[in-house]
Amino acid sequence: MKALTPTHGAVTFGAYSPGIEHHGGRIVLTSGQLALAADGTVPSSVAEQTNICLQAIEAILREAGMDRSHILRLNAYVTDRRHMAEYMAARDAFLSNVEPKPASTLMIVSGFTRPEFLVEIEAHAGET
């Protein structure tokens, strides 16, 4: 993988790359992961929900023999703009040792299947 960071654009404001180049190989796509803990509970904080979603993504990638360093793109959805900073801090911590950083999209949505869900995240991963 190679980060694509044009010199003539806005500087990114988080742990992501403007683009990622992938040279063939296996691709793994996850479904959107919601913050349902192993005991069936849903934590109330965005940070905890984000961590559960990212841990679920990492578990899916392990099933494919991959890890977080194989993530090409994260698509995340939060239910309110006020959740952006908390989501981004948790995402950035998750990606702190990953280079290059994956591409990333964050969207504000009206809600999910249950009102207590505040975050949903899906990943695209690949290896050559």
Q: What is the pLDDT of residue 10?
A: 63
Q: Virtual CA dihedral for 43, 46, 48, 52, nearest 10 degrees?
A: 90
Is there a contact between 116 and 27 (Cβ–Cβ < 8 Å)? Answer: no
What domains does the chain contain, in order, with CATH numbers? 2-127 (3.30.1330.40)
Global pTM?
0.87
Is there a contact between 18 and 103 (Cβ–Cβ < 8 Å)? Answer: yes
Tokens at 24, concatenated? 């063939």
Tell me the per-residue pLDDT of 22-42, one tens digit each, with 9 for 90 and over.
788 899 999 999 999 999 999
Strand 19-21 and strand 71-78: pairing?
Answer: unpaired
